[in-house]
Amino acid sequence: MKKNIIITTVIVIVIAIIAAAFYWFYLKPQTQIEEEIPPEGGGILPTISGLPSPLAPSESGLSAGEGGGEQPILRSLVNKDVLAFWPSATSSLQYLTQEGLFEINYLESPVKEQKKDLGVNFSNVLSVEPSIKGKVLIKYVATGATKPAYSILDIKTGEIKNLDTYIKSATWSPDGETLLYYYSDSPLYYQENFKESSYLAQLDKNLANRKILLNFKAASDINLLWPAANTAYILQKPSGLAETTILAFDVKNKIFTPFVSGNGLIIKWDNQGKYGLLFSVEPNTQKPKLELINSDDVILAEIPNVTLPEKCVFANNRPVVYCSIFVNPTFTGIWPDTYYIGTASFDELIYEINLETMEAKLLNDTLFKIDDIRISADDQYLFFFDNKTKTLYSLSLPKEKEVTPSVSPTVTPITSPHTTSPTSPELPEKSTATTTP
């Protein structure tokens, strides 16, 4: 009996030792390792409910982001009120201020400004659009003027060419070889015996040899986009108060078709016209939404954290978009009207979003209010102007294995609730047409 008790005790002790060894060598170390690994970035874009602690960027520029591997580096380039900016060469950036045109090498430390003599200063720049051929289309309001005008800057020579004052909207072709524009000399008031002229036309790479594509008159201010070889888009000024229609224009066949209708419409395309970000608002609730679409207006995904398309920039060589996302927004009033008149403003965080998987990664935990955002030709740097600090920043992007974009988006499409569809019938070609008011 006593012998059995001893044997049983020995067996229990042996089992306890084996269990302890198993725990120590297999379970406990694993738990310790997991606790030491920093959280990986990625996953579906999260709902942003809390404000991170802002990190003040320094000249060295280090500011922690999420994700393993190389971290993005935030760097202050210029601390002044920049009107507009654009990458001008492999490592240089040009920008306009009230004092004129400047150029910097954004890889140098410290950054050294070089002023370019233009012979003219732009005091109120509305927008800029660089072409891949080294020219910049500048829309501005001249001192003492009441209407916008367009000029074209040659990046290399610094020469300025002023376009006709009756050009109301213009955009570059995808290859940068031609300029598409809308011309209208329609007077504000009726003038007897005045024969007005309104049309869509092109200029060649020398900004000459006008080619009229179609005679038509727009009912209001319009904006032109030309992301794909044969398709341009005509947009009206966005307002949540009115339904408008974005028109697709077949440049080759000179035919208008309705692309999408809705309230508060804003759209931005990648440089191939393959992916688009569409902003709209629900007409009854005024709730804004941001959707990823393709060229057939098929909704590929809805981005749960809303921002404006102008606060996003597509990568040039990968299916990725970088967006400055609103943090804890309260959408009151009419959107996007309240934003553009300056009565709504939110802090923002910069995210990288993979367009094929819709995985999102926070790049930096500094809070901004971004006015414009651009990307270098090699996809290695973001550039943006922060309106909070009046600072032009660069943000280096982690070097990743290049992803070859698929022929068509692989995200599972969502049935489009938009009023138009890929099978919308073409509008008959007319000598005169009017956009939907």
pLDDT at 427 over 60: no
Confidence at residue 7, expressed as pLDDT on a 0 to 100 scale:
59
Q: What is the pLDDT confidence band of residue 188, given thresholds at 50, 70 and 90?
A: low
Segment 347-383, tens digit of pLDDT:
999 999 999 999 999 999 999 999 999 999 999 999 9
- Per-residue pLDDT, 35: 27
Q: What is the pLDDT of residue 121?
A: 75
Rounded Cα gap, residues 137 and 178, in angstroms:
12
Name 57's Cβ contacts closer than 8 Å, sequence gap at least 6. 63, 74, 75, 76, 366, 393
pLDDT in tens, 261-284: 999 999 999 999 999 999 999 998
Q: In what order do the strands lie in the sheet with 381-386?
A: 74-79, 391-396, 381-386, 370-375
Q: Between 171 and 2, name the one with better pLDDT.
A: 171
- Percent of the chain surpassing pLDDT 90: 62
Tell me: pLDDT of 330 over 60: yes
* Reported confidence tier of residue 241, pLDDT bands at 50, 70, 90: very high
pLDDT at 266: 97
Per-residue confidence band for 307, with pLDDT thresholds at 50, 70 and 90? very high
Cα–chain center distance at 294: 15
| pLDDT at site 37 | 26
Confidence (pLDDT) at 398? 81
Section 165-183 average pLDDT = 96
How does strand 360-362 pair with strand 348-354?
antiparallel
121-125, 241-245, 258-262, 352-356 — which is least confidently predicted? Answer: 121-125
Please report the pLDDT score of residue 118 as a whole number: 83
- Tell me the pTM: 0.78
Distance of CA 193 to the CA centre of its chain: 45
pLDDT, greater one: 56 or 199 = 199
Q: What pLDDT shows up at residue 218?
A: 87
Give the C-alpha distances (Å, rounded to integers) separating 432 from 3, 201, 427: 110, 14, 12
- % of the chain beyond a pLDDT of 70: 74
**Residue 419 pLDDT greater than 60, yes or no:** no
pLDDT of residue 152: 96
For the chain, how big is the Rg over CA atoms in Å? 27
| pLDDT tier for residue 71 given thresholds of 50, 70 and 90 | confident
pLDDT of 179 higher than 70: yes
Measured between alpha carbons, how far is 304 from 287 in angstroms, rounded to an integer? 12
Pick the most confident of 30-34, 54-58, 229-233.
Answer: 229-233
Q: What is the pLDDT of residue 320?
A: 96
Q: What is the pLDDT of residue 17?
A: 53
Whether the ω angle into residue 336 lies within 30 degrees of 0, i.e. cis, is yes
Q: How confident is the model at residue 406 (pLDDT cuts 50, 70, 90)?
A: very low
DSSP-based three-state secondary structure for 369: coil
Q: What is the largest CA-CA distance in the chain?
A: 126
> How far apart, in whole angstroms, are the C-alpha atoms of residue 313 and residue 104?
21
Kindly tell me if the per-residue pLDDT of 64 is higher than 50.
Answer: no
